[in-house]
Amino acid sequence: MTANLVLVAVCGATASGAAVARSRFELERARKNLGESDGVNARRAAAEARLYDAQLNVDYCTVRAPFDGYVTNLNIAVGEYANQGQQVFALVDDRNWYVVANFREVFLEEIRPGMRAVVYLMTYPGRAFQGEVQGIGWALWQKNGSSVRGLPDVEPNLNWVRLAQRFPVRVILEPPNADFPYRMGQTAVVTIKGFDDGPEP
């Protein structure tokens, strides 16, 4: 009877040891499956990265303008996909309006920043808008290769007569009137009046 009890006890201890070893093995395998690396769960980090990307794509579906303006040239409809890098529309900045007037170079000596200007827009015949000269262009694009890209390209009126070059003069307009809104690309006629406290040119 004593031998049998010892045998049962030895078998029970062996089974318990095997169960502990198996549990340790299962625990280690579970830790490896969790992807632990320096205390950071790699799988969890990957899932969080995928979630971040998905949220970022959702956020990109809403366009927030940094300023008030007008949406124009909207080239998309409901159900279409807006691919990354594809221009969907343009936003016209409504904060500051200006006219670029191309004056002949013989007049540039009489024009100075800060001078008053009167602007007539073809859209509103007979109505004068007030403006102020902001600056005068310093360079023009030359088709003969003597200049670099990025400069204003002002076409001469005739190609068979040597004409005086025309340089862009930027005139800042008065704030827009709701009854007479400005639009980019309007045709304008600009007259420089001079300084308020000085003689007119």
pLDDT digits (tens, 9 = 90+) for 98-114: 999 989 888 889 999 99
Residue 90 lies in a domain: no
Domain co-membership, 109 together with 57: no
The pTM of this model reads 0.60
Residue 141 lies in a domain: yes
**Overall number of domains in the chain:** 2
Domain co-membership, 179 together with 127: yes
Residue 86 lies in a domain: no
- Structural domain including 190 reads 98-194
Residue 67 lies in a domain: no
Residue 142 lies in a domain: yes
Any idea what the CATH number is for the domain that residue 105 is in? Answer: 2.40.30.170
Strand partners, 183: none
**pLDDT tens-digit readout, 72-99:** 888 888 888 777 778 888 888 888 899 9
